[in-house]
Amino acid sequence: MPKSFTKQTFKIYWQHVRRYSLLGGVIVVSVILASSAHLIVPIFYKHFFDILAGSGEVADKAPLLVDLLVKALAFYLIGWVFWRIGTFGLSYLQNTIMVDLANSTFAYIHKHSINFFNNTFVGSLVKKANRFSRSFEQIFDTLIFEFLPIFVDVVFVTVILAVRNRLLGVIVLVWVAIYLTINYFFSLYKLKYDFQRTEADSRITAVLADSITNHQNIKLFNGYEREKSFFGSVNNRLKKIRIFCWNLGAAFEAVQGILMIFLEIGIFYFAVKMWQRGLVSIGDFVLIQAYLLTIFHRLWNFGRIIRHYYEHLADANEMTEILETPHEIKDVHKAKDLSAVDGTIEFKSVTFNYNQTRRVIDDLNLIIKPKERVALIGPSGAGKSTVVNLLLRNYDLEKGKILIDGQKLSQVTLDSLWQNIALVPQDPILFHRTLMENIKYGRPEATDEEAVGAAGQANAHDFISGFSEGYQTYVGERGIKLSGGERQRVAIARAILKNAPILVMDEATSSLDSESERLIQEALDTLMKDKTVIVIAHRLSTIMKMDRIVVIDQGKVVEEGTHQQLLKQKNGLYKKLWERQAGGFIQ
């Protein structure tokens, strides 16, 4: 069984339902009245058959029988009207709440930290988010259209039969209690095997997808027979658990059937005894049979309803766990907007661990002046990208503080911080939207002319104009329809349009061909004008243009200066890195 978040799930659902409590109340009352109206009809048929079986002239009976039929029709129509009110009301209520739940889920997910997304599979997260609102629909349907009518029917039938004869009411009530109890505990017992069946089914899908993805390896490494055998063994495991679950269900349906047979025969046996004593009439037999059929109809699928209810609840609980996970990075109470940004950045005694056992930044001290262009250099794993992540406050510090123009990052709002920083990553990810929308994402209020101007400065206008739909071209998921250099230039255009005072570039040209790099270097020169710039780069052409090069090793600043100054340091780390790279070019 999945970890239970049932209480929290219903708390979240109730927070959304209570906004529409009036409509919800109307729906509940409508379902109760509709169920009750239909249960009153058999009472008229009881009198109908009592009149038929009684003495008297046919001519005298006919008007009474017609009158009863009219009353039965009236209550059927009343029930029909209230069912329509309930179903149409529920249609609006459910869809509205499902949209609200989806919006709330979307908003909460995107407030989670980078660390959360790094540790969560995207596909799994999307599935959980989608299931959450759909689970509400299924659970709400079950409560309104299954559990509520069962409760109404059992109470109504028990009371009516008890009024006719107390023993009949007691028999039905005791039987229903036994039936529901057995059903409930059996459903919980079977549910764990249903989950095992679902897991086995998911395993089949995973194996099938993995083998299809690796179809070429299967051919090249003669794996056909092995894979066929492996897939067959996985399928056999599913077959065994599926047969067991089906047989378990069939066995319990047999138990349900025998319970219903004994109730029907048993209650009619007692009714016959009472009829002999003149305590019940022929019409009462009709009433009993009608009510028994109603109860049997309601309760036959009760076990399946319970299992589906718990399955939907388990689906919802997966998302509830995420919604109950506190946001790791958030604004402090009364956080202020970052204001009057000139671009001075200070790292003061900054210490940071990714995990308790792995220290990445160790007592880092660094000052970057306004409009200064600084390159961060160092071996892999030295902490360069971590410095950028801490500046963007993707993680909170263990010790120390980071300031922009004297304002602590931990005391300003995240939105205002990100508003003042533009990032050009190594592998920019674009939305599956038009090129115009992607470029304007940095400043949505910008005009199309400003976006086209930014694309021109980023050397992106020419290739965009080459598309048949120009700036209205959709780029595909993650920008897959564009080359790496084209995506990079779109990202630079986006940063140019944003025009933030602080610019961060993380290996922006590391994986590009020479021509793409030339175009992007020209665009970067435009982008870096009059900005405080932090660059993580290994390319010589990028490093040499910086005002200052900061060498980081094991989370500390070990060297800093211009390219020429650092090359003069005997046995310096920068000099070793430079000679290693330059030597590779020479060879």
Helix (H) or strand (E) holding 530: none
Please spell the DSSP secondary structure of 536-584, one letter per residue: E---HHHHTTSSEEEEEETTEEEEEE-HHHHHTSTT-HHHHHHHHHHHH
- Please tell me whether residues 459 and 372 are part of one structural domain: no
- Please tell me whether residues 362 and 257 are part of one structural domain: no
Percent of the chain at pLDDT above 70?
94
Q: Distance between CA 398 and CA 359 in Å, rounded? A: 10
Indicate whether 328 belongs to any domain: no
Which residues are CB-neighbours of 412 under 8 A, at least 6 positions away? Answer: 335, 336, 337, 338, 404
| Among 489, 564, 502, residue whose Cα is nearest residue 374 | 502
Give 168-225 pLDDT, tens digit per residue: 888 888 888 888 888 888 877 887 787 788 778 878 887 888 888 888 888 888 888 8
Q: What local confidence, expressed as pLDDT, does residue 78 receive?
A: 95
Please spell the DSSP secondary structure of 152-169, one letter per residue: HHHHHHHHHHHHH-HHHH
Can you read off the two tokens belonging to residue 581? 């790279």
- Please tell me whether residues 215 and 360 are part of one structural domain: no
- CA 346 to centroid of chain Cα atoms: 38
Q: What local confidence, expressed as pLDDT, does residue 482 receive?
A: 86
pTM of the model: 0.75
Q: What local confidence, expressed as pLDDT, does residue 77 receive?
A: 95
Which residues are CB-neighbours of 94 under 8 A, at least 6 positions away? Answer: 136, 137, 140, 141
Q: What is the mean pLDDT of residues 384-396?
A: 88
Q: What local confidence, expressed as pLDDT, does residue 585 receive?
A: 43
- SS3 (DSSP) at 358: strand
Indicate whether 384 belongs to any domain: yes
Indicate whether 564 belongs to any domain: yes
Indicate whether 329 belongs to any domain: no
Range of the domain at 353: 335-420+502-514+527-587
- Work out the mean pLDDT of the chain and round it to a whole number: 84
End of a domain among 289, 323, 357? Answer: 323
- Please tell me whether residues 305 and 436 are part of one structural domain: no
Q: What local confidence, expressed as pLDDT, does residue 447 receive?
A: 92
Q: What local confidence, expressed as pLDDT, does residue 75 receive?
A: 94
How would you label 241-251 residue by residue, b for 16+ Cβ within 10 Å and e otherwise? beeeeeeebee
End of a domain among 272, 301, 323? Answer: 323
User: What distances in angstroms separate CA 321 from CA 89, 119, 131, one per listed residue?
Assistant: 30, 14, 13
Give 39-77 pLDDT, tens digit per residue: 899 988 888 888 888 776 767 788 888 999 999 999 999
Q: Distance between CA 266 and CA 208 in Å, rounded? A: 54
- Please tell me whether residues 44 and 165 are part of one structural domain: yes
Give 97-148 pLDDT, tens digit per residue: 999 999 999 998 888 888 888 777 777 788 888 888 888 888 898 889 888 9
Indicate whether 339 belongs to any domain: yes
> Can you give 281-321 as a three-state secondary structure string?
CHHHHHHHHHHHHHHHHHHCCHHHHHHHHHHHHHHHHHHHH
End of a domain among 323, 347, 372? Answer: 323
Label residue 340 by pLDDT band (50, 70, 90): low
Label residue 84 by pLDDT band (50, 70, 90): very high
Give 437-453 pLDDT, tens digit per residue: 999 988 889 899 999 98
- Please tell me whether residues 179 and 41 are part of one structural domain: yes
Indicate whether 435 belongs to any domain: yes
CB 178 within 8 A of CB 171: no
- Give the number of domains in the chain: 3
CATH number, domain containing residue 437: 3.40.50.300
Which residues are CB-neighbours of 140 under 8 A, at least 6 positions away? Answer: 13, 90, 94, 97
| Among 534, 507, 510, 565, residue whose Cα is nearest residue 575 | 565
- Please tell me whether residues 364 and 495 are part of one structural domain: no
Indicate whether 451 belongs to any domain: yes
Pairing of strands 407-408, 399-404: antiparallel
Label residue 329 by pLDDT band (50, 70, 90): confident
CATH number, domain containing residue 263: 1.20.1560.10
Give 239-276 pLDDT, tens digit per residue: 998 898 888 888 888 888 888 888 888 888 888 888 88
- Please tell me whether residues 154 and 167 are part of one structural domain: yes
User: What distances in angstroms separate CA 496 from CA 489, 493, 503, 525, one per listed residue?
Assistant: 10, 5, 10, 11
- Please tell me whether residues 233 and 303 are part of one structural domain: yes
Label residue 81 by pLDDT band (50, 70, 90): very high
Helix (H) or strand (E) holding 458: none
Give 505-552 pLDDT, tens digit per residue: 887 665 555 666 677 777 777 778 888 989 887 666 677 778 899 888
- Please tell me whether residues 42 and 156 are part of one structural domain: yes
- Please tell me whether residues 355 and 490 are part of one structural domain: no
- Lowest mean pLDDT segment, chosen from 400-404, 410-414, 474-478: 474-478
Identify the burial level of 122 via C-beta atoms within 10 angstroms of its C-beta, where 0-12 means exposed, 13-18 middle and 19 or more buried: exposed
The residue written with tokens 């089949």 in the block is 204
- Please tell me whether residues 351 and 443 are part of one structural domain: no
